[in-house]
């Protein structure tokens, strides 16, 4: 609901963003001759009209003059150089049969994952830990318990779990997240509570959990449901993925990595 409401507002007032623009030069011509100016114009207009919206990037789309890709903290949208109009939806390249929106979002996530604050995650190493899995999870989410069973069956993987309480669905999940994070052994507390139905640890009132970090990550990676799994190639999978599904993604990732290395030689 939050996403729909925000972008409905975004679309509804977007025509006002470029009201101060003047001159006879077409937006397409401006974009082609001076894309840097168009990008700055879009950033300025968005910041002025949506000061709380985080604009992560604005880039020109190769082969599509006059349209710019805008990555915000909630979604990928498209704007014209004058910043008067916004397009919300998927951009497809018919010839190559490529979903450019999905490709851009995956690349953005892949880059962001390199700068993750891993110190704010619960870390579990299984086997040699050579594969990496990022998990967003809510202690009161029944589907999160299901994915924990899948993780128990994995080997040679390092799992980073970022606690993601969703109070609108589970009012007590923020308190439980703090209790687990502040436990003397948070991995033991998490696994015990989620996999074995152990009692919740007693909350340490002197401990402060990184709740602001968790909240920012939830927005940055557009996590709208738990569990959500992230892989190092930027692939995002919401839902309780079975062990076989996780292994398949790891296999595909390993195959593509080998192909890239072979092409580089």
How does DSSP assign the chain, residue by residue?
A: -HHHHHHHHHHHHGGGTTTT--SSS-HHHHHHH-HHHHHHHHHHHHHHH-TTS-EEEEEEPTT-TT-EEEEESS-EEEE-TTS--EEES--EETTTTEEHHHHHHHHHHHHHHTT--GGGSEEEEETT--EEEEEEE-TT-HHHHHHHHHHHT--SEEEEEEE---TTT-TTHHHHHHHHHTSTTHHHHHHHHHHS-PPPPPP-TT----HHHHHHHHHHTT--SSSEEEETTS-EEES---HHHHHHHHHHHHHHHHHHHHHH-
What's the pLDDT at 253? 87
Q: So what's the pLDDT on residue 232?
A: 86
pTM: 0.71
Report the pLDDT value the prediction gives residue 110, as an integer from 0 to 100. 75
pLDDT, tens digit only, all 265 positions of the chain: 344 434 443 443 333 333 333 343 444 444 455 788 889 989 998 888 888 888 888 988 887 878 899 988 767 889 988 888 888 888 888 888 888 888 887 777 777 777 899 999 999 999 999 999 999 999 999 999 999 999 999 999 999 999 999 999 999 999 999 999 999 999 999 999 999 999 999 999 899 999 999 999 998 888 989 999 999 888 889 999 999 999 999 999 888 878 777 777 6
């Amino acid at each position: 609901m939050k996403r729909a409401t925000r972008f409905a507002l975004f679309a509804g007032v977007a025509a006002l963003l470029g009201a101060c623009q003047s001159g006879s030069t077409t937006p397409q011509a401006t974009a082609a001759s001076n894309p840097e100016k168009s990008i700055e114009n879009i950033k300025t207009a968005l910041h002025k009209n949506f000061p709380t919206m985080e604009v992560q990037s604005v880039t020109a789309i190769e082969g599509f003059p006059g349209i710019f890709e805008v990555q915000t903290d909630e979604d990928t949208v498209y704007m014209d150089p004058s910043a008067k109009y916004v397009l919300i939806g998927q951009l497809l390249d018919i010839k190559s049969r490529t979903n450019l929106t999905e490709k851009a979002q995956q690349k953005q996530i892949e880059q962001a994952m390199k700068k993750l604050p891993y110190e704010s995650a619960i870390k579990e190493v299984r086997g040699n830990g050579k594969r990496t899995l990022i998990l967003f999870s809510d202690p009161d989410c029944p589907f999160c318990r299901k994915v924990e069973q899948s993780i128990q069956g994995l080997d040679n993987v390092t799992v980073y779990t970022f606690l993601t309480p969703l109070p609108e669905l589970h009012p007590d999940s923020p308190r439980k997240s703090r209790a687990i994070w502040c436990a003397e052994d948070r991995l033991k507390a998490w696994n015990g509570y989620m996999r074995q139905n152990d009692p919740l640890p007693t909350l340490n009132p002197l401990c402060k959990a990184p709740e602001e970090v968790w909240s920012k990550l939830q927005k940055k990676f557009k996590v709208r449901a738990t569990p959500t799994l992230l892989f190092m190639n930027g692939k995002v999978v919401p839902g309780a993925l079975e062990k076989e599904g996780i292994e398949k993604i790891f296999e595909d990732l390993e195959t593509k990595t080998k192909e890239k290395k072979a092409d580089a030689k």
